[in-house]
Chain A
């Protein structure tokens, strides 16, 4: 069966520091991969998605970037974190058709 791993579970970072969140999927090949963010009191917002290695689509202009160096690895990065980057970050995967998407357990990011 397919599993998705996301780490760390929680992270506290100072403003201006870099960020790297990693997500890996097991048990499937060539998945679609997604990064979402849930800010306080808001629904989940799609940040990036990828349909293959090196292919990244950005949904929302922001201080973040994503990369997919391997088929089942998706990384969310920032060079300098802002206070507004705080939130709950979720990685998800789906089969090629796009739905349904299956989520990891998320990373709670707090910026101080």
Chain B
């Protein structure tokens, strides 16, 4: 049972436009969500996170939106740059007693930003 789903395996956008990556989850106990970016032959790099007490978190060109009722989150990249081309993973965790160790990952979405 896949608890974190990224239904689009790939996405292609033009440089300067907005990239929107989507993620759905099924476990209502998830209360902390993260986005990672991964280049080939490298490990994932943490991008941005959001707690379930918020519905939006922004860091520079990256904004994550959380819709708890829909069990949906999205990552917006504005403006998109060719260097953003990578695989993006959505991940979620459950806070148990103030610590949350287990990350459940989606399968990733390959973003290609065309010059």
**Does A44 lie within 8 Å of B102, measured CB to CB?**
no
**Does B103 lie within 8 Å of A101, measured CB to CB?**
yes
Given contacts A43-B4, A43-B89, contact A98 B46 (CB under 8 A): no
Give chain B nearest CB distance to A66 CB in angstroms.
14
Binding-face segment, A13-21, A76-84, A102-110: A102-110
**Does A32 lie within 8 Å of B101, measured CB to CB?**
yes
Instruction: Kindly list 15 other residue pairs between chains A and B, CB separation below 8 angstroms, not including A6-B43, A32-B101.
Output: A41-B107, A42-B107, A43-B4, A44-B105, A45-B105, A49-B102, A51-B101, A90-B44, A94-B101, A98-B93, A99-B93, A100-B46, A105-B43, A106-B41, A106-B43
A interface residues (Cβ-Cβ under 8 A, vs B)? 6, 9, 32, 34, 41-46, 49, 51, 57, 59, 90, 92, 94, 96-106, 108
